[in-house]
Amino acid sequence: MIPWLALISICIVMVVSIIQFIRGGKWRPAFELREGRFSAEVFYTFLIIYISVMIGFGLIYFTLSFQGIILVENGELRQPSVIGSLSHSMYFSGVTLLTIGYGDITPIGIGRLIALIQALIGYIIPAAFVLKLVQSHQRNTME
C-alpha cells in the first residue's frame, strides 16, 4: 500500500510545482529578460524542471514495476533486473515526456494513464515557459 501513497505524493508535488510556476510563485525574479534577450536562468530552470519531471515519472514507473504493472519491450514481456527495470523506466519516462514515443517500450494497465498524463505535462511545460517570458517582457515594457 505504501508504493501507491508514494506515487500519489510524487504526482501531487509535481502538479502543484507546475501550477505554482505558472501562477508566478517564488521563482519570479529568475524569469526576467535582460535587455530583451533570453536569459540563461530561464533556460537552466527549464532544463531542471524537465529533468525533475522525467526522474519523478521514471521513479513512478519503476515503483509500479514492483506492483506487477510493467513496461513491455518490443511486444515481449520481460523480467529485467532491478537496474534494467530502472533504466527502462527512466528511458520510457524521457521518451514520453519529450513526446517522441518510439514505441519500443509500452506500459500496461494504469501505466498507460500515467504515460498520458506525463505526455500532457510535456506539452504544458514549454507553453508555461513561453507564457512566463511574455509576461516578463510585458512587465518590463510597462515599467
Which pLDDT score is estimated for 80?
76
Which pLDDT score is estimated for 11?
67
Domain ranges within the chain, ordered by starting residue? 39-142
Burial profile 22-57: b = 16 or more Cβ within 10 angstroms, e = fewer: eeeeeeeeebebeeeeebeebeebeeebbeebbebb
Alpha-carbon span 133 to 119, nearest angstrom: 22
Which pLDDT score is estimated for 33?
45
Which pLDDT score is estimated for 24?
62
Cell reading at 21: 510556476
Which pLDDT score is estimated for 25?
57
Which pLDDT score is estimated for 104?
86
Are the C-beta atoms of 72 and 108 separated by less than 8 Å?
yes
Q: What is the pTM of this model?
A: 0.71
Q: What are the 10-residue block averages of pLDDT along the chain, 143 residues in total?
A: 62 69 55 54 82 91 81 74 88 90 84 90 87 77 74
CATH number belonging to the domain at 39-142, selected among 1.10.287.70, 1.10.357.10, 2.40.50.140, 3.40.50.720: 1.10.287.70
Alpha-carbon span 130 to 127, nearest angstrom: 5
